[in-house]
Amino acid sequence: MAKSWANLSSDPLKWAGCGLNSPCNPPPQILSQHMDSPSYIQRFFTCISCSSDAQIGYQVTLAVPVAYTKGFTGRAFLMETDQVVPNFRVALSVEAVDKSYSCSLDVFLGDVRVWSSGHVSRFYTMHRCALELTLDGDLRLKGQNDKVGWRTGTFGQGVKRLNLLKTGNLILVDALDIIKWQSFNFPTDVMVWGQRLNVETRLTSFPKNSNSFYSFEIQRDKIALYLNSGKWKYSYWEFKPSKNRNITFVGLATKALEIYNDEGQKIAQIRSRGPEPLRFLALGNKTGNLGLYHFSPGTGKFEASFQALNATCDLPLACKPYGICTFSNACSCIQLITRGEGLSSDCSKGIPEGFCGRHRVEMLHLQGVSSILRATLTKVNITSKEVCADLCIDDCTCVAALHTSGQDCGVIFQECTLYGEVRGVKQVERGSGSSYMVKVLKGSHGGHGKSSGLKKWVLIVVGVADGLVIILVLGGVGYYVIHKRRNYSSETGNTSQS
């Protein structure tokens, strides 16, 4: 007999395991009653069948609430692997997103979603969310009026069964157990233990309320993290094997993320910093950080064993647009002075799009500021920062530029990076060899020349967030000086009296 369970909870992480005496296949009207009632609980979980496979002809349906409720989550767990908890489970999910309800097929490791059919494109539906494995072998998600919102496209290929492997790979197989479709071929933002990613594949992660997205990409010469924004693409972390060796695929092992060449030989690795076995790699949708995670029996949670970025200011979206991450890990706005308007208090208010040409715009240099972002089309052999500034001035999509100079193996180099947005900016020590410039309307920086306007602006940029720290430091120095002078005067007076 297939095991099943049902549980209603206001906490999505508090669900019970499959019980031997639990009722199997709860009646659909019970699901509907809880979800359509005005007082239904916002998070609903039920396990319909906890076996690890399903045959053709399999169907399951979740009712979608009539009224929208922010934060609602309803899930029917359909199958699970026979492993020690935390194990893998497959769920049909209904979630409240952007004032609508999405329907998705998901794979969970414990309480972490490691794969979803709606990762790149959500399926929004009303009234019903249904999963079916058709008699001709196509796995589908359907909504109202039998509208198909997602499918595997495996009809006519002899598919007989949907199976969840112990690796977390969800597969469709034929009568000979030949795989016709697998979730591992459609990476999301997580890579689980035992999974491989070939060169030219990537993980993607989407921050909320943003037009940008993060990606972790496997390339021939490196693995790297990118911020993607429209036509612009910026790297903010990378790892290269030594001796310029080429990469063919990467795999997540028990102790490390391992990198392999064409012959299947391990050529590099990123090791875990803890003794516990790794369970998955994840690209965070909030920070864009890459982490290796293990399960801690003590806390009952997944914890990071390694993170690519360990400083707040090294995160690509640590601050809002036109914000600077300072030495104190706080965000300070680049407050532009616009003609006739004074200081702009909005950190995200920069130059309007499409402004270019030397008669309309100019570049202002921010001393002690750089960017962690590197564009994929960085221009090399630029003779000066003035030439770099001109490149941005003439490009109507450019809003900032970074000129970098230095030496590599005794060879002097100069590079120019153009930016389509002002993000990833942080405070650095002066004399670092980089010059960060932003585009402003000509004559709008409030000074009577480039140098006076620049000086005033730089003080505004760096001084806002760290002003309190500076005051405290100066106050402490002043107190120390005054105290020493008083002690010196007192000692002098005592000497004279004696």
For residue 491, what are the contacts with CB-CB under 8 A and spacing of at least 6?
A: none
What distance in Å separates the CA atoms of residue 462 and residue 456, rounded to the nearest whole number? Answer: 11
Predicted pLDDT at 336: 59
In the three-class reduction of DSSP (H, G, I as helix; E, B as strand; rest coil), residue 79 is classed as strand
Residue 279 buriedness (CB in 10 A; 0-12 / 13-18 / 19+):
buried
In the three-class reduction of DSSP (H, G, I as helix; E, B as strand; rest coil), residue 197 is classed as strand
Chain segment 151-166, per-residue pLDDT in tens:
999 999 999 999 999 9
Lowest mean pLDDT among 199-203, 252-256, 281-285, 411-415: 411-415
pLDDT average, residue stretch 20-33: 33
- Cis peptide bond N-terminal to 86, omega within 30: yes
For residue 95, what are the contacts with CB-CB under 8 A and spacing of at least 6?
A: 72, 73, 74, 101, 102, 104
CB 116 within 8 A of CB 131: no
What distance in Å separates the CA atoms of residue 194 and residue 166, rounded to the nearest whole number? Answer: 10
- Using the structure block, give the residue that is written with the tokens 């029917």: 76
Buried b (16+ CB within 10 A) or exposed e, 326-361: beeebbbbbbbbbeeeeebeebeebbeeebbeeeeb
Q: Is residue 454 over pLDDT 50?
A: no
CB 370 within 8 A of CB 425: yes
What distance in Å separates the CA atoms of residue 274 and residue 384, rounded to the nearest whole number? Answer: 46
Q: What are phi and psi of 143, to 5 degrees?
A: -115, -150
CB 367 within 8 A of CB 471: no
What separation in angstroms does the CA of 218 have from each of 129, 240, 250, 260? 35, 11, 8, 11
In the three-class reduction of DSSP (H, G, I as helix; E, B as strand; rest coil), residue 286 is classed as coil
Q: How high is the mean pLDDT of the chain?
A: 81
Lowest mean pLDDT among 258-262, 282-286, 361-365, 379-383: 379-383
CB 170 within 8 A of CB 94: no
Beta strands in 110-186 (DSSP E): 112-116, 124-125, 128-133, 139-142, 148-151, 159-164, 170-174, 179-182
What does the DSSP assignment read for 346-411? -TT--PPTT--STTTEEEEEETTEEES-EETT-EE----HHHHHHHHHH-TT--EEEEEEEEETTE
What distance in Å separates the CA atoms of residue 354 and residue 356, rounded to the nearest whole number? Answer: 6
What separation in angstroms does the CA of 63 have from each of 24, 59, 147, 494? 18, 13, 15, 90
> pLDDT confidence of 487, banded at 50, 70, 90?
low
Residue 32 buriedness (CB in 10 A; 0-12 / 13-18 / 19+):
middle
> Residue 127 has what DSSP assignment?
S
Q: What are phi and psi of 222, to 5 degrees?
A: -165, 165
| pLDDT more than 70, % of the chain | 75
What distance in Å separates the CA atoms of residue 226 and residue 423, rounded to the nearest whole number? Answer: 13
365 vs 27, which has greater pLDDT? 365
In this structure, the chain runs to a length of: 498
Lowest mean pLDDT among 49-63, 175-189, 435-449: 435-449
In the three-class reduction of DSSP (H, G, I as helix; E, B as strand; rest coil), residue 44 is classed as strand
Structure tokens at 459: 């003080």
Same CATH topology for 1-186 and 187-310: the answer is yes
Ordered by start, the domain boundaries in the chain are 1-186, 187-310, 314-463
What separation in angstroms does the CA of 494 have from each of 18, 487, 490, 497? 85, 11, 6, 5
Sheet with strand 179-182: strands edge to edge: 53-55, 159-164, 170-174, 179-182
Predicted pLDDT at 209: 83
Chain segment 73-132, per-residue pLDDT in tens:
999 999 999 998 899 999 999 999 999 999 999 999 999 999 999 999 999 999 999 999
Q: Is residue 410 over pLDDT 60?
A: yes
Write out the CATH class of domain 1-186: mainly beta
Q: Is residue 375 over pLDDT 50?
A: yes
> pLDDT confidence of 348, banded at 50, 70, 90?
low
Chain segment 250-308, per-residue pLDDT in tens:
999 999 999 999 999 999 999 999 899 999 999 999 999 999 999 999 999 999 999 99
In the three-class reduction of DSSP (H, G, I as helix; E, B as strand; rest coil), residue 498 is classed as coil
pLDDT average, residue stretch 389-409: 88
> What amino acid occupies position 303?
E
Chain segment 3-20, per-residue pLDDT in tens:
333 332 333 322 323 332
Q: Is residue 471 over pLDDT 60?
A: no
What separation in angstroms does the CA of 13 have from each of 94, 110, 273, 350? 16, 9, 27, 42
Superfamily of domain 187-310: Bulb-type lectin domain (2.90.10.10)
In the three-class reduction of DSSP (H, G, I as helix; E, B as strand; rest coil), residue 490 is classed as helix
CB 237 within 8 A of CB 309: yes
